[in-house]
């Protein structure tokens, strides 16, 4: 299951796109979370090359224009497990369903994962920001 880290990361990037001078405390106030959570996710966004910041200077900047940052970029940056769906461990191999469930679900889940990643690749941060500004 995708946790809230994806939406928090998009929230952070949207705020930076709109006002790059915000501190992690101000971003945390908007997200209503602890600034440590913001700094941790921001660090992942920085490692992925989506944002940059300087020590001793409040704020961050996007490394490229928001229309060039896809939601797939964000998804990959925050290190969500590679697979959206997990299959339970060790189904009973003596059961007619248990012995085939993993392979069967792998095929179904892979196509869903691919469709989701394709859709995220078609959505940009700019679209999010434009919608927020309406």
**Looking at residues 10-17, what average pLDDT do you find?**
98
| CA gap 104, 116 in Å, rounded | 19
In this structure, what DSSP letter does residue 62 have?
E
Nearest to 118 by CA among 128, 130, 127, 110: 110
**CATH architecture of structural domain 5-133:** Orthogonal Bundle (1.10)
Write out the H or E segment, with its range, that includes residue 51: strand 51-52
- Residue 104 tokens read as 């069967």
| pLDDT value of position 89 | 80
| Residue whose pair of structure tokens reads 């990037």 in the numeric block | 13
Measured between its terminal Cα atoms, the distance across the chain in Å is 30
| Domain residue ranges in the chain | 5-133
pTM: 0.85
| CA gap 62, 119 in Å, rounded | 22
111, burial (CB in 10 Å: exposed 0-12, middle 13-18, buried 19+): exposed
Structure confidence by residue, pLDDT tens digits, 20-68: 999 999 999 999 999 999 999 999 999 999 999 988 889 999 999 999 9
């Amino acid at each position: 299951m995708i946790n809230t880290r994806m939406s928090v990361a998009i929230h952070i990037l949207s705020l930076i796109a709109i006002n790059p001078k915000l501190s992690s405390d101000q971003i945390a106030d908007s997200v209503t979370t602890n600034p440590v959570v913001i700094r941790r996710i921001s660090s992942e966004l920085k490692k992925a090359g989506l944002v940059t910041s300087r020590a001793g200077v409040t704020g961050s900047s996007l490394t490229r224009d928001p229309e060039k940052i896809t939601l797939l970029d964000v998804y990959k940056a925050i290190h969500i497990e590679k697979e959206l769906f997990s299959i339970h461990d060790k189904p009973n191999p003596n059961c007619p369903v248990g012995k085939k469930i993993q392979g069967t679900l792998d095929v179904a889940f892979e196509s869903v994962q691919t469709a989701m990643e394709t859709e995220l690749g078609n959505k940009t941060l700019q679209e999010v920001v434009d919608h927020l500004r309406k």
